[in-house]
Amino acid sequence: MPTSSEKVEKAEVPEKAMATVPAGTPATNGTPAPRKPRAPRHGWHRALEVIVIVALIIGANVLITLGFELYSSLANVMWDEYRAAANENIDTVIVGSSTGQRSFDPSVLDATLGTTTFNMATPAQELDDSYTAAKQAIEDHHVKRVILALDYESVSTVKWPGSHVAFARAKMAGESFPQAVADYWKLLTSSSFFDGADSICALFPWGYNHVELDAEHIATNFNDRVSDTTPVEAAERVMDGWTYYGNGYGNYDGVLDYSTARDHLSVSVDGPADFDQQGLDWIQNICDLCRENGVQLVVVVTPRPAYNVLAYGEKYPEQMSRLQQVVEQAGGTFLDANLARGGWYEPRDTDFYDGEHLNHDGAARFSQAFVGALQVLDAGGSTSDLTYSYDQWDNYLASIDEISAVISTSYLEDNNTVVSAMAYTGSNVQVEYRFSLVAEDGSTTVIQDWSASDTCAIPEDEIPEGSSQVEVCVRQVGSTVGYDRYCMQDISG
């Protein structure tokens, strides 16, 4: 039995033996030697790593933005041209979305009125941005008149993803650093930042407002941004058929093909939405801004083809009357050019570029008519007799004496392909329809001659091979013309 001293010696042997083994040498019994603890990093090391990573992300985002974010956007064009006119007298501004941007030619207004007008409307301009534009013009130029141009969607849709960011960034581009920071902070703390796509668009603007995603467009966009190319020059090159005429105004010369009216309907398949209260509140803010600064406010519903008014049905006068009430109770003037009486303004088919916008010639004609309305206001008169009121909706419908457009749809029913048509007309216009099959070579074969029926059922086994369309023609009853309007309907052959 070992003595107590022997126990002590045996207990100490492994400890003494381990003390003689160099660090990092495996122990003889197969157990790894303990490693030297790693020295903890200081807090500033970790902070530096985070800063470097964030800087790399920001740098990459800046470079991508330079190449991808659309330099030729019309918001950039407007703000760049507005800043260029900083030292000029401006007494009238137009604010609103693209319908305003393409409905008013400042040169036409100014030639007759002797005013100096600048068009600050931009595509998809939200109403709170219209407020910002008007406020800026009042502060910079002490303008005497603000024209707010809008349409049904301006108050029913209210927000368009990313447009708020595009507008704000274009405004910030030429501002002092403190003002740009203030505007960006306002953007990041706005309600739209937290409830929609603006939260992404504000941080990564190239994700929404970007060029065509190919090497040529990206390189050109980057060169335009870093060179002496102005946004106007870039826009005229990028947007085929668009021309800049000055004072914020640019437009296209194309003419609407009424046979494609279905593709240009503003009303969705779910029907027209009611006005958004936030939209009406924003309009109230614009009214208050103008009243508090002694500025005349004229709110104008811009012209569109009649079919794109008739498509709303009774919703149009019901909702538009809400808008008119807000404007007039706040002391503004309200005009709906779609309900214009013939003695004031009569649009032509050739005035429209698409279902919502005037082309350059159409804008010139409407601007000249609008001069008359402004002259009445300047003389202290009322413009109420220039248009039908919403209470006179039936009178407006009766005043439309033509077929504005025809659209069609198709569906299968009992082994038949059924084509259904709808003509947009005034209430006193009687119409008849004709349906024809269209062959591959473009020739037509009448399958249902002129009649009051707006539907045509075609048995599946009677559709010739290669026929994939039906031509739908419409004309007024008693007419001897070939047709007044037509459209093409795809079917399965």
- The predicted-structure confidence for 13-24, as pLDDT tens digits, reads as follows 444 444 444 444
Does residue 210 have a pLDDT over 80?
no
**In the chain, how long is the greatest CA-to-CA distance?**
133
Question: At 455, is the secondary structure helix, strand, or coil?
Answer: strand
- In this prediction, residue 217 carries a pLDDT of 72
Beta carbons within 8 Å of 417's beta carbon, 6+ residues apart: 410, 411, 457, 458, 460, 463, 491, 492
Residue 414 to residue 433: CA distance in whole angstroms: 23
Left if phi > 0, otherwise alpha if psi is -120 to 50, otherwise beta: which for 222?
A: alpha
Does residue 269 have a pLDDT over 90?
no
Residue 60 to residue 272: CA distance in whole angstroms: 43
- In this prediction, residue 464 carries a pLDDT of 76
The mean pLDDT value for 411-430 works out to: 93
Please give the span between the terminal C-alpha atoms of the chain, in angstroms, as a whole number.
107
> Taking the alpha carbons of 388, 392, 395, 396 in that order, is the dihedral positive or negative?
positive
Does residue 402 have a pLDDT over 50?
yes
- In this prediction, residue 348 carries a pLDDT of 95
Does residue 334 have a pLDDT over 80?
yes
Report which of 124, 226, 215 is spatially closest to residue 166, judged by C-alpha positions.
124
**Residue that wins the pLDDT comparison between 312 and 39:** 312
**Residue in the structure block whose two tokens are 């130029």:** 141
Amino acid identity, residue 55? A
The mean pLDDT value for 203-222 works out to: 68
Percent of the chain, pLDDT > 90? Answer: 58
Amino acid identity, residue 163? S
Residue 170 to residue 220: CA distance in whole angstroms: 19
Long-range contacts from 231-234, C-beta under 8 angstroms, 24+ separation: 231/71, 231/72, 231/73, 231/76, 231/77, 231/80, 232/77, 232/80, 232/81, 234/71, 234/72
Beta strands in 366-430 (DSSP E): 403-413, 416-425
- In this prediction, residue 18 carries a pLDDT of 44
**Rg, C-alpha atoms of the chain:** 34
Which domains does the chain carry?
A: 59-397 (3.40.50.1110), 403-490 (2.60.40.10)
3-state secondary structure 91-113: CEEEEECHHHHCCCCHHHHHHHH
- In this prediction, residue 239 carries a pLDDT of 86
- In this prediction, residue 367 carries a pLDDT of 98
- In this prediction, residue 135 carries a pLDDT of 97
Distances (CA, A) of 104 to 134, 215, 368, 430: 16, 36, 9, 35
Q: How far is CA 322 from the centre of its chain?
A: 23
Report which of 221, 427, 162, 202 is spatially closest to residue 306, judged by C-alpha positions.
427
- In this prediction, residue 71 carries a pLDDT of 73
Beta carbons within 8 Å of 326's beta carbon, 6+ residues apart: 280, 283, 284, 287
pLDDT band for 42, please (50, 70, 90 cuts). low
The mean pLDDT value for 189-195 works out to: 64
The mean pLDDT value for 325-331 works out to: 96
Does residue 198 have a pLDDT over 70?
no
- pLDDT tens-place string over residues 278-310: 999 999 999 999 999 999 999 999 999 999 999
Which residues sit opposite 93 in a β-bridge? Answer: 118, 146
- Mark 183-193 as b/e (b = at least 16 C-beta within 10 Å): beeebeebebb
- In this prediction, residue 16 carries a pLDDT of 40
Does residue 12 have a pLDDT over 60?
no
Report which of 249, 306, 338 is spatially closest to residue 424, judged by C-alpha positions.
306
The mean pLDDT value for 389-397 works out to: 97
